[in-house]
Structure 1
Amino acid sequence: MYNKVVMIGNLTRDIELRYLPSGSAVAKSAIATSYKYKTQTGEQKDEVCFLDFNIFGRSAEIANQYLKKGSKVLLEGRLVLEQWTGTDGQNRTKHSLRVDTMKMLDSKSSTEGGYAPQGNYDNNPSSSYSKPAPTAQSGQASGGMQRVEQQHYIPEYDINDDEIPF
């Protein structure tokens, strides 16, 4: 079976960071995406999808540090069914996204005085950043344009916020 979800959208609320008893970080928030289409009558419609997500490990701490409500982000992971019992005794369920890879899409200028690094962050326990991928150039894409896919490696630095000059 295959369960993979890729979403690009904006955060609907600030990241909520917690720590498990094991010391591992867990970040929770939600993402909103939209899809625009025209009906048969020509009327413009906008379909919005909201989805809660969870990020674990170092990626959760990075998300908490750099993302805020409204931040644009690409999330890749798998859909999971969460089950719990509510305070009223009723069983509850909801689908959420368990994030494996996160990419911040906001630029430095779009953050209010802060710096949001652009790059891929994955939850691979052996590294807190995704491994660099070689630059690949595919053949002619539709429309006669060439498509270039590139992934940048971002090294891990241990820097305090007090050391950043801006």
Structure 2
Amino acid sequence: MAGTLNKVMLIGHTGDDVKMMYFEGGGSIGRFPLATNEDYVNKSTGERVTSTEWHNIVVRNKAAEICEKYLKKGDKVYIEGRLKTRKWQDTEGKDRYSTEVQCMEFTFLSPKGENQNLSSGGNAQQPEGQVSQNVQSNNNAISAEADSSPVVNQVEEEDDLPF
């Protein structure tokens, strides 16, 4: 295979509310932890074990603002993105590394009542400025498919071809 791939897909529960950072140029970043669980039975003891893995999620700009508004601690969410490792120095000057999931697409999976209307399209994609457009275009695409399907059926019924 000639190319490479850096893609992560997670379904989990948020471990905290989204923490926002705003920048002078108008950009923003939202960060939150996401927990994924694995259940299995320990063969030696026969008891059920749950193993939890924590992931650091980073969302940018308009998508971050949507997450801040609608995601709360404990909500279930689908995250799609890529892994990014950052190097930084702690207060003692030691090099530290942090691996994050740079979120490129998300879908809210927890029911939210009235708030569910905005996220029912469920997708918010980056790049910046296209988040609300993508949510809207997804909804339009769904309604367009629903409108066009009866037309296709009518054409098939009128066609008398034997094959």
Separation (CA, whole Å) in 1 of partners of 2:23 and 2:41: 46
Following TM superposition, by how much is the alpha carbon of 1:25 offset from its aligned partner in structure 2, in angstroms?
1.5
Give the counterpart of 1:14 among 13, 17, 26. 17
Report the identity percentage.
Answer: 27
Structure with the bigger percentage of strand:
1
Q: In the aligned structure 2, how far is the partner of 1:61 from the partner of 1:18?
A: 10
Higher helix share goes to which structure?
A: 2
Alignment gaps of 5+ in structure 2? 146-163
Do structure 1's residue 3 and structure 2's residue 6 form an aligned pair?
A: yes
Report what 1:122 is aligned to: 125
Q: 1:96-135, aligned counterparts within 5 Å? A: 96-109=100-113, 115-116=115-116, 117-118=119-120, 119-125=122-128, 127-129=130-132, 130=134, 131-132=137-138
Task: Return the match for 1:92 from 91, 96, 116.
Answer: 96
Counterpart of 2:106 in structure 1: which amino acid? M
Q: Which runs of 4+ in 1 moved over 3 A?
A: none
List gaps (5 residues or longer) in structure 1.
Answer: 136-149, 151-166
1:61 matched to which residue of 2?
65
Tell me the residue number matched to 2:41.
Answer: 38
Please report the TM-score for the alignment, with normalisation by the length of structure 2: 0.73
Query: CA RMSD of the aligned region, Å?
Result: 2.1
Name the residue aligned to 2:55: 51
Greater Rg over alpha carbons, structure: 2
1-side partners of 2:38 and 2:11: how far apart?
11
**Structure 2 counterparts to residues 72-87 of structure 1, below 5 A:** 72-87=76-91
